[in-house]
Structure 1
Amino acid sequence: MTAVKIIKVLGTSEESWEDAAQAAVEEASQTVDDIHGVEVEDWTANVEGGAITSYKATVEIAFPVHESSGDA
């Protein structure tokens, strides 16, 4: 049986929510191996002067928990 760990990551972009979600995955992949899936939990944005200035995506990232090799 495979155990899966889920973490939340917040990505940001000045272009779009999609870019913000992609930024979250790219950042997480630098320290997390074998990312198998994501779920966008929340879309938010900063607004100034009546216009969106930055997009934010809260992303849940799923990856398998690997068994330790027993080398301590």
Structure 2
Amino acid sequence: MTAVKVIRVMGTSDESWEAAAHEAFREASQTVDDISGIRVENWTADVEDGDIVEYKATTEIAFPVEH
């Protein structure tokens, strides 16, 4: 049986929530090896003058724990 660790990472984008989720994954993958899954926990955005200016995706990144 493999133990799995889950960390929370927020990605941001000025384009879309999907791009924000991809950014969270890209950032995590720079320091975390063998990512086995990602779950989007929450979608939020910053709004200024009636327009969305920044999309945010809070994600949970899962990876196996080394023994």
Note the C-alpha offset of 1:42. Answer: 0.2
Aligned pair count reads 67
Unaligned runs of 5+ in 2: none
Give the whole-Å Cα distance in 1 for the aligned partners of 2:50 and 2:58: 23
Q: Which residue matches 2:5?
A: 5
Note the C-alpha offset of 1:51. Answer: 0.5
Q: Which residue matches 2:35?
A: 35
Q: Which residue matches 1:58?
A: 58
Structure with max Cα Rg: 1
Fraction of identical pairs, as percent = 69
TM-score by length of 1: 0.92
Cα-Cα RMSD: 0.3
TM-score by length of 2: 0.99
Cα deviations across residues 19-43 of structure 1 (Å, max 9, x unaligned)?
0000000000000000010100000
